Chains A and B, each alone.
Chain A
Amino acid sequence: MAEVTPFFLFSAAFLASAVEMVEALTIILAVGVTRGWRSSLTGAASASVALAAIVGVFGPALTLIPLDVLRLVVGGLLLVFGVQWLRKAILRASGLKALHDEDAIFEQERREAAAGPSEERLGLDWYAFTLAFKGVFLEGLEVAFIVITFGTSQGRLGLAVVGAVAAFVLVAVVGVAVHRPPSRVPENTLKFGVGVMLTTFGTFWGTEGTGAKWPGGEASLLGVLVGVLALSLGLVAVLRRLEGRSEVEAVQVAA
């Protein structure tokens, strides 16, 4: 059974976590600035504890499943996830879908938080707590999923957790330092990278799970990675050309 290098494992967990934590940070900052930090940070911390519990329970539990079955299931899920992440990243890179604008999202979240109802429970602004909890939990669920699947498939859950925590710390430090969403982060590039990795590992592990043997063993992983990357970049180029052509045609019709 081929072993994926620790570098790829760490990178996948780190990148996926960084992308999702930037989005979670935008919500926490918007709620914190508008409704107060105590409830916002308590909500974020509670969601982090819930996510850690999910990883702590499901991570070790999944190691009880036979590795071939685990890789088939994990490969399938990663492939479905990966194709959908990549589709959105390709559409954004080609200009057919709007890029994430964290500053605009921050302003929208801030307006919504300001308009929310005031209700105190357990000494907290319940609306702010709920908003921050849901933001962190929902964004973090995909990270937990990636950490669990990558970690258990390689028997290196600890390394995947370290990758996710490193990204969490980095994004949190940036958030505390600037008190604004890190809008300069090349979010779509990161999402593109995560999509390529998820699709690559999903294809690799899924194939192994079916019982087929890769020619060249672990070396094939690099081939799959290059293939997925080339196809994705090729699709971006095709869509950009089609988009350019349709714009020219629209200008000609208007003229």
Chain B
Amino acid sequence: MNRLRAFGAFWYDFVVGDEWSVAVGVLAAFAGAAALVRLGVNAWWLVPAAAAGLLAVSVLRAARS
């Protein structure tokens, strides 16, 4: 059980990293863009804008801490 937990923790750390909010933000941006495309809006701008926001917030939060 401990090995399974360690295995899961390793892959969580590898994929999600030390800031889970970045992964959640990326998922939300993709979902939002896909939803807008379904509504007929070519939302090519949403993911770059979200990426810029996530990077800036992530860096400034780390700098403050």
- Where the two chains meet, the residues of A that have a C-beta atom closer than 8 Å to any C-beta of B are 72, 75-77, 79-81, 83-84, 86-87, 90-91, 94, 96, 141-142, 199, 202-203, 206-207, 209-215, 220, 224, 227-228, 231-232, 235, 239, 242
Contacts and interface: CB of A to CB of B under 8 A. Distances in A.
23 contacts: A75-B47, A76-B30, A79-B47, A80-B23, A83-B51, A83-B54, A84-B22, A90-B59, A91-B63, A199-B51, A203-B47, A206-B30, A211-B33, A211-B38, A212-B33, A212-B42, A212-B44, A213-B42, A224-B48, A227-B48, A228-B52, A231-B56, A242-B63
Interface string B35-65: 0111000111011100110111011101100
Nearest to A213: B42
A215 B44 contact: yes
A207 B52 CA distance: 14
Interface size class of B (residues with CB under 8 A): 20 to 34
A231 B16 CA distance: 23
Contacts of A79: 26, 47, 51
B51 A203 contact: yes
Interface of B: 14-19, 22-23, 26-27, 29-30, 33-34, 36-38, 42-44, 46-48, 51-52, 54-56, 58-60, 62-63
Contacts of B16: 80
Contacts of B36: 212
Residue of A76, A81, A228 ringed by the most chain B CB atoms within 10 A? A76
Contact of A231 (B26, B47, B52): B52
Query: What 6 pairs between A and B have smallest CB-CB spacing?
Result: A210-B33, A211-B37, A210-B34, A212-B44, A207-B47, A84-B17
Contact of A239 (B26, B54, B63): B63
Given A72-B30, A203-B48, 16 more contacts: A79-B26, A80-B17, A80-B22, A83-B26, A84-B22, A87-B62, A96-B63, A203-B51, A207-B33, A212-B37, A213-B42, A213-B44, A220-B44, A224-B48, A235-B56, A239-B59
| Interface of chain B: mostly helix, strand, loop or mixed | helix
A212 B59 contact: no
B44 A87 contact: no
Contact of A232 (B14, B27, B55, B63): B55
A87 B43 contact: no
B17 to A, nearest CB: 5
A83 B48 contact: no
B59 to A, nearest CB: 5
A76 B23 CA distance: 8
A137 to B, nearest CB: 11
Contacts of A83: 22, 26, 51, 54-55, 58
B48 A207 contact: yes
A207 B44 contact: yes
A199 B44 contact: no
B44 A214 contact: yes
